[in-house]
Chain A
């Protein structure tokens, strides 16, 4: 504990950790490019990479397709979604001073899931599903905001409203599953809801990535200000912060991130809860170090999980199952070894 404190007594990541965090996603991404049902030797991968960046000989067509048409966009998506959900979760935990807060606390993921299920039910194409999902994610948060926010009401009423709106949309999703054709539609809806990154293509990314990147960027720029969020409202005001504006901006960023993540790859559970907490155990609650740590750890974590998901067995394993199976025990071990943490 004391050792961890010394490392970042100024609240900033040490140069060593900065290097680790910069390299971690890159290295995992490069490793993930090689791993899969078609194994590609690292040397071949680097040769192909070099060929694309500068000059050289390309690999056989099949391998090129696997590397750059299938795996690369998928890895990009995993990096983005992992980083995004961790950032959003981290912001929500601080915003609501609640260690159980997740990116879905305000109902955005349930709303987006409903949108996607609806899109699949009426047979939209992938981009259509993504758009309608994004739309309903935002609608869900708006509903939560309208019902929960108000003068003199604490943030807890927002959390409660979020739970209500979330369960409302979950019920609607069940309704859609109930009415869906069990032969054609239901499996695709169910599978989609469990989360999968296999829809990844450059088109999907182009539509979803800007929201995630913008959300992460704004929250990252605000990282020192985010430290004010867990304080009481009056203390926050007394720090010269427009706390209302800060809360609204945090919610907007987290919503943009989460809705676009869900719209691209369904519900990826746990990342938004596990990763920020793992980082809190190591780096404390100061967002100067916590936020970058969450971003990079989240990115690397999801790449690893997704690589396992697509290569562990002949059929792809839905990612939410794996995030929980890999994440939960790891989390418990870490919690017991580090003696826990406090918000």
Chain B
């Protein structure tokens, strides 16, 4: 699956340009965060991608085919949409709500078959929401409803999942559940694109980020290159620091907003650390299913890989991988970020300058 947005602009009838000359792409396995201040066009972008709104110019394509020329039923059997879990929802019980997600796999006069219901039950089991089956969507908490809506989207067996602020209005725990679910999906090859108000969530989970400024300017790229202190200040008008928290298993990036400043223009994809380093990425993974994804990533960065050693340690249900790399620091950081966001993977990276310099620990 390849989604591309090509030179797309959008303005409302009154002439206010919301999105200007946007280019970005997403493919299977990507987890893409869309960030930006209120009114910068995040939701507009999602609506345009899905064809609810028409680009003023430019287009979005799915595997090379213009989305507007794809018939609704075919498009929606590949793409699924998770709306915000607020506002009015129909009073269907959870099970029926999820079953509605199977609709685009049915003919116009068809009714759900037993196998559709089986799929729904499997899905609910897998997402640990079976207990909600008979509960009405109007009588659920925000977190529960969000999971039901994600399940409904997944019931359609999509290749691309588009989520509108899936973790807004949720408590701590439910946010984490939703983020975990998205990571899991991306690791299984489903492309997820989500809007968020939390740059930290992008740093924690997203492989790529799209950052909007008010007025249509945008920046798209590797999360670590896009979500930087300088760009955050320009896009949001907030001075913030990005800090790192080390746990025994991982190093996590977090962002703390400090004070309000003036938003500005001229965001740049972070290119610091283009200098050559030697690095060792060490991973312990309890997720054997992530092996394919890890191999794909190492293949993508093969020109920097000097050597690798891997071994399963079956008694503990993990496998261990050490990769030695030689290349630009920022590339290696990107790789280690992408490995670190895989579910069930713990990893850190050790850097050294080629001629003996000091060594630092990085995620």
Contact = CB atoms under 8 A, between A and B. Distances in A.
A234 interface: yes
Interface stretch (B130-138, B176-184, B203-211): B130-138
A10 interface: yes
Interface string A257-273: 00000000000000000
Interface in A238-267: 238-242
A239 B104 contact: yes
A239 B90 contact: no
A238 B50 contact: yes
Contact of B100 (A223, A231, A242, A284): A231
Contacts of B79: 238
A225 interface: yes
B108 A239 contact: no
B103 A222 contact: no
Contacts of A234: 47, 50, 52, 81, 83
B326 interface: no
A341 B93 CA distance: 12
A237 B103 contact: no
A9 B76 CA distance: 27
A342 interface: yes
A286 interface: yes
Interface in B22-61: 47, 50, 52
A224 B76 contact: no
A225 B103 contact: yes
B135 to A, nearest CB: 9
B111 A223 contact: yes
Given A239-B76, A286-B92, A11 B99 contact: yes
Contacts of B153: 238
20 contacts: A9-B93, A11-B96, A224-B110, A224-B111, A227-B103, A228-B103, A230-B90, A231-B90, A234-B52, A237-B52, A238-B50, A238-B81, A240-B75, A240-B77, A240-B104, A241-B103, A284-B92, A284-B96, A288-B111, A341-B91
Interface of A: 2, 5-6, 9-12, 97, 221-225, 227-228, 230-232, 234-235, 237-242, 284-286, 288, 341-343
What 5 A-B pairs come out closest when comparing CB atoms? A240-B104, A342-B91, A240-B76, A230-B90, A238-B81
